[in-house]
Amino acid sequence: MSTSPRGHRRVLVVGIDGVRLDVLEAVPTPHLDGVAAAGFIGRIDIDETTPTMSGPCWATIATGVGVAKHGVYGNHFGGHRLDVFPDFATRLARQDGRRTFTAGGWEPLFLARDGGPLFAGPARLSYIAPRADTCEAWEACDDEVTAEAVHVLGTDDPEASFVYLGAVDETGHLRGCGDAYRRAVARADARLGRLLAAVRARPAYAEESWTLIVVTDHGHRDDGGHGGRTEPERTAWVACCGPDVAAGPPPSRPLRFEDVAAHVYASLGRAADSHWTLDGLPFTPAERSADAPAAAAAGRR
């Protein structure tokens, strides 16, 4: 990714639902490996208060606050407090007037269904429905979501984007974590590669400074499914690279879902208002400025 310390700052968050860390380590994922090599990849242990379900985990990732604040405890979002603790794409659009973009195919993230949406007011939103609750339908949906995101990244100018890919999780539920699941992980990495290529093909890419965050929300049991407290279910991960992220091991402190939104704001040079009461921290020290010396980014692309 571009590492110009003074370029126009942009951030892309790619959420890949339900990817077990041990499977990720066993499957060839060259595009995610490239992100990790340019920055880091680190384990997230889902805390005891957060159910290992997509709704609460994605809500924490997007808002930067835990379940006690945002109020999403399951895959039905009813009773949430997302009006008080909005997602980063909505907050940046409403409070700063920034161009933001979200895309994906799981209804409660993007539509007013099942108590949603999580992403209530980004500047641009693309929802593409899977045609059925099958692995094949979700693979096709993720391909369409990726194509739409490639188009937007190439023709529009969002400063902060979130792209959701759901086929891996659906495969885990329907077929367990065997060969089909591993193939789904590899296909998700290929879609990540298309998103990265779209960023690098932007006409203004040389003058831009991009941060990329790739994150999953939970794992799966061997036979498929999640929601419990076994290690495969409660182990997640995040990878990040960008102008403020040194290549090497992840931060020594425990990583949390709440850190993702905090780093989105920091990567754009947006100081978090204390009234937001974020629970996360950027992946880099707070004293690192948006104009850190170019030498800090040496060797990363």
Low-confidence ranges of the chain (pLDDT < 50): 2-5, 286-301
Q: pLDDT tens digit string along 104-131?
A: 999 999 999 999 999 999 999 999 999 9
The pLDDT of residue 264:
98
pLDDT at 287: 38
**pTM, full prediction:** 0.93
Residue 300, pLDDT score: 28
Domains of the chain: 8-295 (3.40.720.10)
* pLDDT at 259 (0 to 100): 98
Residue 124 forms beta bridges with which residues?
A: 101
Cα separation values, 215 from 12, 19, 169, 231, 286, Å: 11, 9, 13, 17, 22
Residue 22 has what pLDDT?
97
CB proximity list for 267: less than 8 A, separation 6 or greater: 9, 11, 211, 242, 243, 244, 282
Number of Cβ within 10 Å of residue 7's Cβ equals: 16
Q: DSSP letters along 22-57, please? A: HHHHHS--HHHHHHHHHSEEEEEE--TTS-SSHHHH
Residue 285, pLDDT score: 64
Query: pLDDT digits over 218-263, tens only?
Result: 999 999 999 999 999 999 999 999 999 999 999 999 999 999 999 9
